[in-house]
Amino acid sequence: MSEDTKAAKDAEKMEKIVSLCKRRGFIFQSAEIYGGLNGCWDYGPLGVELKRNLKDYWWRKNVRERDDVVGLDGSILTHQEALKSSGHVGGFSDPMVDCRTCKSRFRADQVCESKCPEKPSKNPEENGCDLTEPRDFNLMFETKMGASSDDGSIAYLRPETAQSIFVQFKNVCDQTGERVKMPFGIAQIGKAFRNEINPRNFTFRSREFEQMEIEYFCRAEDGLELTDYWLEERLKFYESIGIPREKLHVLDVPDGERGHYSSKTYDIEYEFPFGIQELEGVAYRTDYDLKAHSEGVGKPQEYVDQAAGEKFIPHVVEPSAGCDRTILALICEAYEEEVITNDKGKQETRVVMRFDPKMAPIKCAIFPLLKNKPELVAKSKEVLDLLRPFMNVTYDETGAVGRRYRRGDEAGTPFSVTVDFDTIGENGPENEGTVTLRERDSMEQIRIPITDLVAHLLPLIQ
Ligand code: ATP
């Protein structure tokens, strides 16, 4: 396939994904009825389940199933002094250029990937736009707290979840006593805000987004080795949620391109249809942040090792993942169009979202074979109630069963159960109390007793 054909196919795939996300209720543009709020997105009924599954699984793997990581949920509104100490107030900016002709604004380091609004087939450089010299544009959202509006009332929406972890470092150490022994981590999932110059590529670059971060505190001599350890852990995590290793790329970020605080950073990138782009950064932040806050408050933010009788400011390794970017990667990875032969022997295309069952928004759909047969409906509702405490299920009685399967395939539902005449004993006692269970990817069906459903499904969806 030529480069141009591939680019056109990728762009077409992305358009289909965006439209499926809207049609099926994964992701909507924020305030769409008012013309949309640029860089902001809302997750619909399927999207919110997918996102919750990802966050829950991340929390389970990185906090609950580890002895060395505890959690935190910090406030979004952030003390201005904390962000002055961290360097964000003076330094968290991207270089910006304006076009003097069409008045558009671009990120100076991304001009060649941007489109000129006057001639969308060209980027501003090819189009000979009249660009200004780059200027720094601070990415933080500023707000005022309380009734007064002097400079002292300025607060910021946090630009990363990390800073609240550093600011609470001492409290966590003091409160959790025995549990936290160096090395150990503090994890957080939460919203972050950046006034991005050009939000784009669907949810990829948003102004409001969620991060899943761990600050893993350690001794200076272990920093580099732990950076490699976390890189491997995170790659395994992506594989375990259905993103194959061969679609992930690791960029060892060269000197001069890393954050000012970092002496080693790996970017984990994914092959999105719009290019290979960053999913997560694994950064060795040294002792930069805790030192900066120690200076800011005039007290050392240090770790006390009672047993060894020593005190020191630890170093930190930070795996920082974007929740929304991972969701987008899961959606892009899951999307597939497959030509199949239907019941009537005709070829048709089915769109199937091949989510890993752990991530799938709905785990099992329950169908009565016919909706106008009360016994089938009643039995289906019984099956629904049986599964409901264990997994997210849905009930669908509209249209032919084949069409219901297609709807489930598009939502990425890995299993569906059909309650038929055998189930209710109308064809004799032999299959009474059994249902058909269909698997989304193989489309294979088995007959299984209702009483075995929970035990059969649970290991497949966890
Ligand atoms: P980029 O270079 O793409 O702007 P970054 O290197 O500034 O990202 P970090 O500060 O390392 O990003 O943030 C950690 C993670 O947070 C990123 O890997 C990404 O997954 C997520 N993230 C950062 N900015 C955004 C954004 N504007 N929209 C969605 N997710 C984001």
pLDDT per residue of the chain (462 residues) written in tens, 0 to 9: 778 888 899 999 999 999 999 999 999 999 999 999 999 999 999 999 999 999 999 999 999 999 999 999 999 999 999 999 999 998 888 888 888 888 888 888 888 777 777 777 778 878 878 888 888 888 999 999 988 878 889 999 999 999 999 999 999 988 765 557 899 999 999 999 999 998 989 999 999 999 999 999 999 999 999 999 999 999 999 999 999 999 999 999 999 888 878 889 999 999 999 999 999 999 999 999 999 999 999 999 999 988 888 999 999 999 999 999 999 999 999 999 999 887 788 898 899 999 999 999 999 999 999 999 999 999 999 999 999 999 999 999 999 998 999 999 999 999 999 999 999 999 999 999 999 999 999 999 999 999 999 999 999 999
Contacts of 6 (CB under 8 A, 6+ apart): none
Report in angstroms the alpha-carbon separations of 327 from 54, 332, 365, 460. Answer: 8, 9, 22, 21
CB of 209 sitting under 6 A from ligand 1: yes
Name the residue at shortest CA distance from atom 12 of ligand 1: 281
What distance lies between CA 391 and its chain's CA centroid?
21
How far does residue 280's CA lie from ligand 1's centre (Å)?
7
What 8-state DSSP symbol labels residue 200?
A: B
CB of 322 sitting under 6 A from ligand 1: yes
Assigned token pair, 123: 């980027």
- Residue pair 216/318 in contact (Cβ under 8 Å)? The answer is yes
Contacts of 284 (CB under 8 A, 6+ apart): 223, 224, 226, 227, 262, 263, 264, 265, 315, 316, 317, 318
What distance lies between CA 164 and its chain's CA centroid?
20
SS3 (DSSP) at 221: helix
Q: How many CB atoms lie within 10 A of CB 422?
A: 20
Name the residue at shortest CA distance from atom 4 of ligand 1: 205
CA-nearest of 189, 188, 210 to 43 is 210
Name the residue at shortest CA distance from atom 2 of ligand 1: 278
Q: For the sheet with 315-322, list strands across it.
A: 69-71, 184-193, 208-218, 315-322, 275-286, 264-272, 248-252
Is the sign of the CA dihedral 17, 22, 26, 27 positive or negative? positive
CB of 279 sitting under 6 A from ligand 1: yes
